[in-house]
């Protein structure tokens, strides 16, 4: 059987040389753990958890609306951390009885979100375009487009306000 001989030859080559064996082992582990499917789950929740955060950024002037918006943004943002925790539990082979329950998963997601969020918020005042930085004039475009660029750059924490 020529196919079996070819497979055996490839198997011997990858076992004798780790340079060939390691990428193959990574690919096989990725396939066994359904890496594409699990990656798609986390990407889906990450993508849809951004919209409430962008809406909260656009709210100005009304404290109640901002409070409700922040609460909903936290709730929506938590889902990406819950999905990531579930994916990690699946990949690491944690049995269902040892996985966190309903409240435990949400508490873990909330703590992770607060830890990451406080790091981002703590970094904003130290950047040149942070919320405490003076407004810098931008050349070109209308006042509205300059204002939009400035708000966008402040939201994403870029180094330039224009």
133 contacts 148 by C-beta, under 8 angstroms: no
* C-alpha span between 97 and 3 (Å, rounded): 44
> What does pTM read for this prediction?
0.57
Give, for all 162 residues of the chain, the pLDDT tens digit.
577 777 788 778 777 877 777 888 888 888 888 889 999 999 998 888 877 777 766 766 677 877 877 788 788 888 889 999 999 898 888 999 999 999 999 999 988 888 887 776 666 665 555 555 555 554 555 555 566 556 555 555 544 444
Domain boundaries, the chain: 31-119, 131-162
Q: In 124-161, which residue ranges form alpha helices assigned H by DSSP?
A: 143-156
Q: How far is CA 138 from CA 8, 119, 142, 156, in A?
A: 65, 28, 10, 17
What DSSP designation does 127 have?
A: S
């Amino acid at each position: 059987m020529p196919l079996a001989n070819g497979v055996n030859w490839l198997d011997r080559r990858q076992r004798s040389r780790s340079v060939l064996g390691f990428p193959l082992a990574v690919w096989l582990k990725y396939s066994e753990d359904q890496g594409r499917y699990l990656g798609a789950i986390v990407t889906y929740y990450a993508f849809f958890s951004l919209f409430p955060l962008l809406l909260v950024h656009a709210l100005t002037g009304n404290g109640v609306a901002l409070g409700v918006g922040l609460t909903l943004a936290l709730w929506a943002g938590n889902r990406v951390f819950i999905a990531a925790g579930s994916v990690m539990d699946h990949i690491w082979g944690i049995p269902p009885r040892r996985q966190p329950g309903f409240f435990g998963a949400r508490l873990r997601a909330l703590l992770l979100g607060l830890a990451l969020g406080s790091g981002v918020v703590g970094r904003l005042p130290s950047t040149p375009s942070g919320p405490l930085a003076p407004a810098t004039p931008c050349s070109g475009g209308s006042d509205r487009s300059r204002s939009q660029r400035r708000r966008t750059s402040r939201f994403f924490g870029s180094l330039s306000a224009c």
